[in-house]
Copies of this chain bind each other. A is one copy, B any other.
Amino acid sequence: MAKQQKTAITPTREENYPEWYQQVVRAAELAENSDVRGCMVIKPWGYALWENMRTGLDGFFKATGHSNAYFPLFIPLSYLEKEAEHVDGFAKECAVVTHHRLEQGPDGKLHPAGELEEPLIVRPTSETIIGATYAKWVQSYRDLPILINQWANVVRWEMRTRLFLRTAEFLWQEGHTVHETEAEAWEETRKMLEVYKQFAEEYMAMPVLTGEKTAGERFPGAVSTLCIEALMQDRKALQAGTSHFLGQNFAKASGITFQSREGCEEVAWTTSWGVSTRLIGGMIMTHGDDDGMVMPPRLSPSHVVILPIIRNEADRDSILEYCNETAAMIREQSYAGRPVEVVVDARDINAGEKGWGWVKKGIPVRIEIGPRDMESGSVFVARRDKGPKEKYGQSREEFASTISAVLEEMQQGLFERACAFRAENTREIDNWDDFVKFFKEEGGGFALAHWDGTEETENKINDELSVTIRCIPFDCEYGGAGECIVSGKPSKGRVVFAKSY
């Protein structure tokens, strides 16, 4: 057996992908499990990443005419019940507040006291509580559209959790809009899906497919759920964002009616759409490698780390000064609309450990500066998209003047690599045997195949292979007409199958 190259993360992706994922999250200091079941602690490096994602998305939301607002954390049980499918969808996994104080019992211990007349549900999503407010705001067609987004925490009591991908509490944004006509609501639903696609591809460097979910995978209470789907490196799909056309279902449930231009009382049309900290999981599984996280430069909390190499205490001050000067030069550059962010890591710890720490965190560029670099006015550069030992010297002026271009090249490179990976692992399949072979023997990926449109066939495939329909592409004749790989019945176009998170 050939000697294995040592990697910073054990196990490697090949050896054990789920465990590799957990180890990357830990080693990159993105998040950790808390002592509270299913709730995570998002650590500073992970939270700074989320802040950058939030800023990017928020820019898109504002550019498309939305404002932010904030609605209550709690939803009265009776509100959740207003939409029958909706409450069914969330009843099995919600945190219920039943009391509003603690009191010492006869055992000397504190117990819940002050029982509420009506239990409150910690929001798993806010359609019903926001709908109740909108019903008061909307009187006339002049009050429409309402285009509001909320950045918030939500709770879904998941039994099996995994950092970022599925946690009991997570952070997200939820847009909730109200429209005068069905067409406008549909336009909004599609527009926000397009925003998600653009954000995923341009900021996260994560290519996504767009399409509609099947009836069985819809958001509870929606008329239609659109989604973006990405392919992870283990060839499983990740649903990365959804945009729901809610029709008049929630408007009826909440009583959002308005006087139309013709003077009639009409029921409004609503949408909702959201992405969450789950996207961070998607980014890790799209770009991470056996040395840890790889940050897309546009979202990375910092772009460049400067590592002073101090072998002799006498050099410390002059090297640090040179490092700080270099940092200041680099900060004068800008990338993607913000100054290039630089950290000088002057911690007094083992240099190898320090350098590897930044590799694992996925910072795009590391530069080392020792006494000889200082003398020659140069820096020693390593890029996260190259091998960890592939380093090159450069004058610091040249480094500073090219850093923006290098970051953009890395951003594009990550996107292209991810697109190539997806292309390699997407296949048109025309019969059941090949379909089974694809998922059972060939590692799977996105299978584009014909489906007869029935829930029966969908379930059969899921039962036999744990493969689901990720989305029905918008062009319903995608790939042309054909025959269902299971039933042989006619199909108007291919749909996208995959195993998924």
Q: Which residues of A are interface residues toward B (Cβ below 8 A)?
A: 32, 34-36, 39-44, 46-48, 50-51, 67-77, 79, 81, 87, 91-103, 110-112, 114, 119-122, 129, 132-133, 142, 148, 152-153, 155, 157, 169, 171, 349
Contacts and interface: CB of A to CB of B under 8 A. Distances in A.
A137 to B, nearest CB: 9
5 contacts: A36-B120, A41-B71, A77-B110, A94-B101, A95-B100
Contacts of A35: 76, 79, 129, 132-133
Contacts of A34: 71-72, 129, 132-133
B99 A96 contact: yes
A175 to B, nearest CB: 13
B95 A68 contact: no
Contact of A95 (B94, B97, B110, B349): B97
A39 B70 CA distance: 10
Contacts of A114: 157
Contact of A91 (B70, B74, B101, B169): B101
A396 to B, nearest CB: 26
B92 A155 contact: no
A43 B91 CA distance: 29
B169 A73 contact: yes
Nearest to A136: B32
A153 B73 CA distance: 8
Given A36-B129, A119-B112, A129-B36, A69 B98 contact: no
Contacts of A87: 102, 110
A47 B67 contact: yes
A110 B80 CA distance: 10
Given A48-B67, A96-B97, A112-B119, A39 B74 contact: yes
Contacts of A72: 34, 36, 39-41, 169
A157 B74 CA distance: 12
A110 B87 CA distance: 10
Contacts of A169: 72-74
Given A69-B43, A72-B39, A74-B39, A93 B98 contact: no
Contacts of A121: 102
A97 B100 contact: no
Given A97-B97, A97-B98, A97-B122, 6 more contacts: A35-B132, A43-B69, A74-B169, A91-B102, A95-B120, A142-B349
A93 B32 CA distance: 30
A72 to B, nearest CB: 4
Nearest to A109: B81
Contacts of A73: 39, 122, 153, 155, 169
A455 to B, nearest CB: 24
Contact of A102 (B50, B68, B79, B94): B94
Nearest to A132: B35
A71 B39 CA distance: 8
Nearest to A148: B44
- Which 9 residue pairs across A and B have the least CB separation, nearest first? A39-B72, A44-B67, A42-B70, A91-B102, A96-B99, A96-B112, A100-B157, A36-B72, A98-B98
Contact of A153 (B48, B96, B110, B153): B153
B97 A69 contact: no
A77 B75 CA distance: 22
Most buried by B among A43, A67, A99, A100: A100
A349 B140 CA distance: 13
Nearest to A147: B44
A164 to B, nearest CB: 12
B100 A93 contact: yes
Contact of A68 (B40, B51, B155): B51
A76 to B, nearest CB: 6
Nearest to A347: B142
Nearest to A74: B36
Contacts of A152: 153
B119 A91 contact: no
A234 to B, nearest CB: 27
Contact of A171 (B50, B70, B79): B70
Contacts of A32: 133
